[in-house]
């Protein structure tokens, strides 16, 4: 199995997300903004807006996810999560999710008033510009509530309806526990904290890992289980960690070889899709087992997955 999916020599310097012991990237949130985390969200939004009046869209996206993610982490650390359940015990929402999305939505309403909004926790606004910001304030909320560091804040900017965008401009994903921010898109080479990732090298499933997720209830569905097994058993190993945007950033960065999941929400798909495409990868939606599956990876392995389901 290939431990590195781009480099021929795995002894080369680690990619940016491979943190060395005792070495941590600087805090991505300015001290004056961080000081407002315990206050009313409106004060934080006001200060953020003043700071980013002239930011480009990619700059704004990185600042939004960094601030939202660090805000969520601060709320968790304060003990004020307030967990509620949506559809099941594993489908949860917290006060941190709501506060982070409120921050992002209010900041965008002030800085990009003509653009549309679509957020996991209910933020929604019709677009007057043809552009829409797709927001996941905390991706991996179940992990987040359990105290895991495998969660992130994510955003994407698209043209057209998010379910079928005519263009994906870019995505940004911030992982608070690591202070890492991924940024990239089809026309914006993917970076981690400003450092470019290598372009994805082609490799078949048998030589790489598959990051994936399937809810236990779907393992009882013969059609869905069969589709998932037909693909997952072709890979050298599996990773199931529960935060799609981090998984997809890992594909873009070469930590995982490919990714697939069915019935993926726009906010769980678009930010990471943009990162994979910004690293030269391929992203597709495919019908199999009566469900729509999102697939991402290098061109060769995506074609392999599609051929299995054809």
263 and 161 share one domain: no
Q: Which helix (H) or strand (E) holds 25?
A: none
52 and 168 share one domain: yes
Q: What are phi and psi of 162, to 5 degrees?
A: -55, -30
- Region 282-296 average pLDDT: 99
pLDDT one-digit tens code per residue, 80-104:
777 777 676 666 788 999 999 999 9
- CB contact at 8 A, 251 and 297: yes
78 and 131 share one domain: yes
pLDDT value at position 15? 38
* DSSP string computed for 71-121: HHHHHHHHT----EEEEETTEEE-HHHHHHHHHHHHHHHHH-TTSEEEETT
298 and 223 share one domain: yes
59 vs 57: CA distance, rounded Å = 5
pLDDT value at position 82? 72
- Region 47-65 average pLDDT: 98
Indicate yes or no: pTM above 0.85: yes
Give the CA angle between residues 81, 87, 89 to the nearest 5°: 55
Q: Which two tokens stand for residue 215?
A: 């809810």
Share of the chain above pLDDT 70, in %: 90
165 and 241 share one domain: no
Q: Which two tokens stand for residue 301?
A: 């392995």
Share of the chain above pLDDT 90, in %: 84
Ligand-binding site membership of 77 (annotated): no
Asked whether residue 7 carries a pLDDT value surpassing 70, the answer given is no
pLDDT one-digit tens code per residue, 146-161:
999 999 999 999 999 9
Banded pLDDT at 1 (limits 50, 70, 90): very low
61 and 177 share one domain: yes
Give how many domains the chain has, as a whole number.
2
Ligand-binding site membership of 139 (annotated): yes
Q: Which two tokens stand for residue 270?
A: 């678009």
- Region 108-137 average pLDDT: 98
pLDDT value at position 89? 64
Ligand-binding site membership of 102 (annotated): no
| Mean residue pLDDT across the chain | 91
Give the CA angle between residues 210, 213, 216 to the nearest 5°: 135
Ligand-binding site membership of 266 (annotated): no
Domain boundary among 196, 224, 249: 196
**DSSP code of residue 257:** S
190 and 50 share one domain: yes
Query: Is residue 12 in some structural domain?
Result: no
65 and 160 share one domain: yes
Query: Is residue 94 in some structural domain?
Result: yes
Contacts of 257 (CB under 8 A, 6+ apart): 2, 5, 203, 205, 207, 208, 209, 210, 235, 236, 251, 297, 298, 301
Q: Which carries the bigger pLDDT value, residue 22 or residue 218?
A: 218
Give the CA distances from residue 13 to residues 21, 51, 186, 223, in Å, rounded to whole numbers and listed in that order.
Answer: 14, 35, 26, 43
User: Could you list the residue range(s) of the whole structural domain that residue 294 is in?
Assistant: 205-309
């Amino acid at each position: 199995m290939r431990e590195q999916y781009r480099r021929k020599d795995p002894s080369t310097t680690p990619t940016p997300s491979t943190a060395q012991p005792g070495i941590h990237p600087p805090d991505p949130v300015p001290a004056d903004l961080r000081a407002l985390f315990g206050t009313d969200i409106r004060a934080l939004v006001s200060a953020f807006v003043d700071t980013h009046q002239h930011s480009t869209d990619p700059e704004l996206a990185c600042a939004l996810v960094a601030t939202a993610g660090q805000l969520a982490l601060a709320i968790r650390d304060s003990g004020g999560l307030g967990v509620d359940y949506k559809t099941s015990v594993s489908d949860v929402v917290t006060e941190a999710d709501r506060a982070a999305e409120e921050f992002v939505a209010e900041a965008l309403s002030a800085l990009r008033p003509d653009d549309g909004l679509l957020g996991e926790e209910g933020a929604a606004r019709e677009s007057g510009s043809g552009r829409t910001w797709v927001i996941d304030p905390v991706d991996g909320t179940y992990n987040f509530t359990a105290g895991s560091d495998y969660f992130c804040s994510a955003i994407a900017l698209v043209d057209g309806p998010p379910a079928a965008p005519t263009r994906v401009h870019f995505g940004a994903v911030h992982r608070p526990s690591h202070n890492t921010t991924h940024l990239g898109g089809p026309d914006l080479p993917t970076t981690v904290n400003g450092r470019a990732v290598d372009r994805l090298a082609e490799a078949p499933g048998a030589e790489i890992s598959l990051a994936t997720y399937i809810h236990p209830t779907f393992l009882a569905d013969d059609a869905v289980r069969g589709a998932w097994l037909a693909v997952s058993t072709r890979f050298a190993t599996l990773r199931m960690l529960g935060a799609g945007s981090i998984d997809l950033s890992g594909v873009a960065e070469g930590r995982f070889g490919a990714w697939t999941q069915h019935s993926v929400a726009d906010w769980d798909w678009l930010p990471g899709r943009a990162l994979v495409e910004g690293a030269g990868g391929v992203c597709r939606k495919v019908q199999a087992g009566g469900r729509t599956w999102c697939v991402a990876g290098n061109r060769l392995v995506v074609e392999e997955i599609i051929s299995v389901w054809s």
